[in-house]
Amino acid sequence: MLWFWAIKHVCPTVLVIRQFDATHKNSTYVELGKAIEALGVNSQFTKYKSPLEYVHKASGAKIIFKGFDDASKLTSISATTPLCWIVVEEAFEIRSEDEFNKLDLSIRGILPEGLFYQVIMMLNPWSAKHWIKKRFFDTVNENVYAVTKNYTDNIFLNEDFVKSIDDLAITNPRMYNIVGKGEWGVSHGLVFDNWDTKEFNVEEMLSKKSIYSSSKYEKIFGVDFGWTDPTTVICALKDEVNKEIFIYDELYQSKVSIKMLCDWIKMKKLQNEVFYCDSANPREITEMRSLGIIRAKGCTKGPNSIVSGIKILQGYKIHIKPNCKHTLGEFSSYAWSTDKTSGLYLDVPESDGNDHLIDALRYCGTVPSGIIY
């Protein structure tokens, strides 16, 4: 395509979009640069960081990066070359179909010969309830090409990442169906429907003051121990006044020793924080303390602790950053079990290993209730 642009002397502008403009710097911009290098065409582009841009030297074609956090500004982008192609990364983050329509309708007009309009949307299919599924996958439209690809089709993935997805087929089949096979998350019987994907800045949030404390948000951290099953850590902020939880980081890995866990915590500079851990593993908690995580403590489980903890978490609006892929996978597929005879949902979640990060969140996210679940 680059050769075609240069020979035909056409200079399109490609617009790359994510929900929030600030997230491009460490995601799409970097990944596109890696792809350009892997394809051996690095010398054909000039790279700019302010604003973020790639410019094809021979044709003048541009790749620019913008955020969907202000859709009205997107409709008035002034490009020096025809804006005809839009690439939406992590399209699942776009919760409003109306905002997408405004963008879609903004790229219209007569184009030079050889160019055409196209919107490319890429996403993980976390929930079958999302408007994208109904509009582009469930409805036949001759102008829409909807295709499902999975990690086996991506030649740019490293072996460690591929193995981590392969392992999900054994440790968490529900999540593997979404992350690995590209199947849509279940739409019925989910335990949690009070969550969304959202970008937010942790440092900015912690700088906001509250009349109740030095910060409006409380930092919370939970640990669920595993070996064959994954060891998980959840990192979040909690706003008890407005009943919101903001999940911003995670660890999800099998065969993690306590030393490796503590090294990860130290690498994140969290060694002085309180970590609420599964109290069924007192030896591991003691070892964490001996390795410098001195505020690790076991949670006190109340009666019917799993369901009780779930009910507490259901009272919050839970926001999950897009980088927390495994957390998104669990929330997208954690479902109530069903009665084998009647098919009706029971008040007990499925025990299929799809709750390790959710368990960690229960340990740290339900503390103010008096009993830690």
Provide DSSP, 207-267. Answer: TS--SSSSSSSEEEEEEE--SSSPEEEEEEEEETTTTEEEEEEEEEESS--HHHHHHHHHH
Tokens of 311: 């009910």
Q: How confident is the model at residue 116 (pLDDT cuts 50, 70, 90)?
A: confident
Q: How confident is the model at residue 5 (pLDDT cuts 50, 70, 90)?
A: low
Mean pLDDT, residues 345-368: 84
For the cut 90, the answer to whether the pLDDT of residue 263 exceeds it is yes
Mean pLDDT, residues 315-319: 94
Which residues 6+ apart lie within 8 Å of 342 measured at CB? none
Percent of the chain residues past pLDDT 90, beyond the cut: 39
| pLDDT attached to residue 4 | 54
* Of the listed ranges 21-30, 169-178, 250-259, 279-288, the one predicted with least confidence: 169-178
- Is there a shared CATH topology between the 2-123 domain and the 195-369 domain? no
For the cut 50, the answer to whether the pLDDT of residue 372 exceeds it is no
| pLDDT attached to residue 177 | 87
| pLDDT attached to residue 152 | 92
Q: Which residue has the tokens 């491009």?
A: 24
Please provide the average confidence, as pLDDT, over all residues in the chain. Answer: 85
Tokens of 308: 């009780």
For the cut 50, the answer to whether the pLDDT of residue 99 exceeds it is yes
Is the domain defined by 195-369 classed in CATH 3.30.420.280? yes
Give the C-alpha separation, 217 to 80, whole Å. Answer: 44
Give the C-alpha separation, 99 to 90, whole Å. Answer: 15
Residue 54 near residue 63 (C-beta atoms within 8 A): yes
Mean pLDDT, residues 252-276: 96
Provide DSSP, 69-86. Answer: GGHHHHTT---SS-EEEE
For the cut 60, the answer to whether the pLDDT of residue 370 exceeds it is no
Which residues 6+ apart lie within 8 Å of 313 measured at CB? 192, 245, 358, 361, 362, 365, 366
pLDDT digits (tens, 9 = 90+) for 271-308: 999 999 998 889 999 999 999 999 999 987 767 788 88
pLDDT digits (tens, 9 = 90+) for 330-340: 998 888 888 77
pLDDT digits (tens, 9 = 90+) for 19-77: 878 888 888 999 889 888 888 889 989 999 988 999 988 888 889 998 877 656 666 66
Specify the CATH class of 2-123 in words: alpha beta
- Taking 3-state DSSP, the helix, strand and coil percentages for the chain, each rounded to the nearest 5, stand at 35, 20, 45
Bridge-based pairing state of the strands 83-88 and 118-121: parallel
SS3 349: strand
Q: How confident is the model at residue 121 (pLDDT cuts 50, 70, 90)?
A: very high
Beta bridge partners of 290: none
Residue 333 near residue 178 (C-beta atoms within 8 A): yes
Tell me the torsion sign for CA atoms 75, 78, 79, 82. positive
* Of the listed ranges 25-34, 167-176, 305-314, the one predicted with least confidence: 167-176
Phi first, then psi: what are they for 219, rounded to 5°?
Answer: -80, 130
If you ran DSSP here, which 8-state letter would residue 191 be given? S
SS3 341: coil
pLDDT digits (tens, 9 = 90+) for 212-248: 556 689 999 999 999 989 999 999 999 988 899 999 9
Provide DSSP, 115-147. Answer: ---EEEE------TTSHHIIIIISS--TT----
Question: Would you list the domain boundaries of the chain?
Answer: 2-123, 195-369
Give the C-alpha separation, 35 to 296, whole Å. Answer: 42
| pLDDT attached to residue 146 | 93
Q: Which of the pair, 105 or 118, is modelled with greater confidence?
A: 118
Which of 22, 98, 33 is closest to 67 using CA atoms?
A: 22
Q: How far is CA 256 from CA 138, 231, 327, in A?
A: 41, 6, 18
| pLDDT attached to residue 167 | 86
Q: How confident is the model at residue 187 (pLDDT cuts 50, 70, 90)?
A: low
For the cut 80, the answer to whether the pLDDT of residue 371 exceeds it is no
